[in-house]
Chains A and B, each alone.
Chain A
């Protein structure tokens, strides 16, 4: 396994482009010799997909000219996956994303919940005009 691999990409903030992040994460895992960690890869792919989909829908309200800047990194000893997204949309408001009541099935509202379930840590902060999401997952058997 190889540590300290980093990849950055800038995507148009459109749902049609989000699969690219999944592909880049798969390439990063392969490059790091982590191809057998399918379940962890899927967790990260889905968590990042949910964060980016929320950015497209809520932060940018589906504005077509917007962008998402994404940094993907496998680093550290023990190994961990770090993902950071930056966007220039509306600030995230926690009150707009209540935790779903799992005993009362609903159609929407599971995206951020899933990201938090699948990663060890999902953090949000605002830096000037930027929204920054930081996701972290330890790579363990």
Chain B
């Protein structure tokens, strides 16, 4: 699920992969909470290699966004080229709530 994390320009990039779903979401929420507790405020969540995202996975991202913004930060999301995951963001209108990018390099310059 969490494939790797690295820092670019004071922004934490978290690369996820495969299924981000109701099974993996609790672990992901705990992972995000830990990063917030360590003081991270700005995130890029790279979903480029995510093959499946359900509402529980989406909820983990929305909760991170809420907490990061409360702490004065923000969250950008890199969506995969695959339209399936993009469709979930559009249907729920979260493509208007998150800052959406097509690449990490575009995202790290913006958050």
Contact = CB atoms under 8 A, between A and B. Distances in A.
B92 A49 contact: no
A105 B54 contact: no
B94 A105 contact: yes
A50 B56 CA distance: 9
Given A15-B23, A102-B93, A111 B54 contact: yes
A17 to B, nearest CB: 9
A123 interface: no
Interface string A32-47: 0000001100100110
Interface string B2-35: 0000000000000000010111000000000000
B19 A19 contact: yes
Contact of A105 (B83, B88, B93): B93
Interface in B61-85: 62-63, 66, 83-84
Contact of A110 (B63, B87, B92): B92
Measured as residues with beta carbon below 8 angstroms from the partner, the interface class of chain B is: 20 to 34
A38 B56 CA distance: 22
Interface residues of A, number: 28
A16 interface: yes
A111 to B, nearest CB: 4
Contacts of A102: 92-93
B66 A18 contact: no
A53 to B, nearest CB: 4
B23 A107 contact: no
A117 B19 CA distance: 21
B99 to A, nearest CB: 14
Contacts of B55: 50, 53, 108, 110-111, 114
Given A106-B62, A111-B54, A113-B92, 12 more contacts: A15-B23, A18-B21, A19-B23, A39-B83, A46-B52, A46-B88, A49-B22, A105-B93, A110-B92, A111-B55, A113-B91, A114-B55
18 contacts: A15-B21, A15-B22, A39-B83, A42-B84, A45-B52, A46-B52, A49-B21, A49-B22, A53-B22, A53-B55, A53-B56, A102-B92, A107-B62, A107-B63, A108-B59, A110-B92, A111-B55, A114-B55
Interface of A: 15-16, 18-19, 22, 38-39, 42, 45-46, 49-50, 53, 56-57, 100, 102-103, 105-108, 110-111, 113-114, 117-118
